[in-house]
Amino acid sequence: MDNRLIAYCGVDCSVCPDLKSGKCAGCRNTDWKEGSICLPVECCRKRGIDFCGQCAQFPCSDMKDFYRESPGHEQAYALMLSIRAEKEVQ
């Protein structure tokens, strides 16, 4: 898995049609404008972590609803749980 294609929230950008078609650069490559930055991007950058799953507060109240929004977000949650488990083993 190429971590550069995994969004901060855990969404797998490598399977996203918008990324494949060039409509989206992915959250790691987007030039975010003040006031429009995605919550997981802003929070992870502020905390100096690569993914939500690395956060001590994961899953925080802000992200719980996000992870329930769609099957893709549910998959992202599962990936973040696995990253969280890896962190706890270390």
How many angstroms separate the CA atoms of 23 and 15, rounded? Answer: 13
The pLDDT tens digits for 46-56 are 999 999 999 98
- This prediction has a pTM of 0.81
Q: Is the pLDDT of residue 86 over 80?
A: no
Cβ neighbors of 7 (< 8 A, separation 6 or more) are: 13, 26, 27, 28, 40, 41, 76
Burial 51-80 (b: 16+ CB within 10 A, else e): bbbbbeebbeeebeebbeeeeebeebbebb
d(CA 25, CA 13): 9
Please determine, for residue 1, whether its predicted confidence score (pLDDT) is greater than 80.
no
Extract the tokens encoding 2. 């190429």
Neighbours of 89 (CB within 10 A): 5
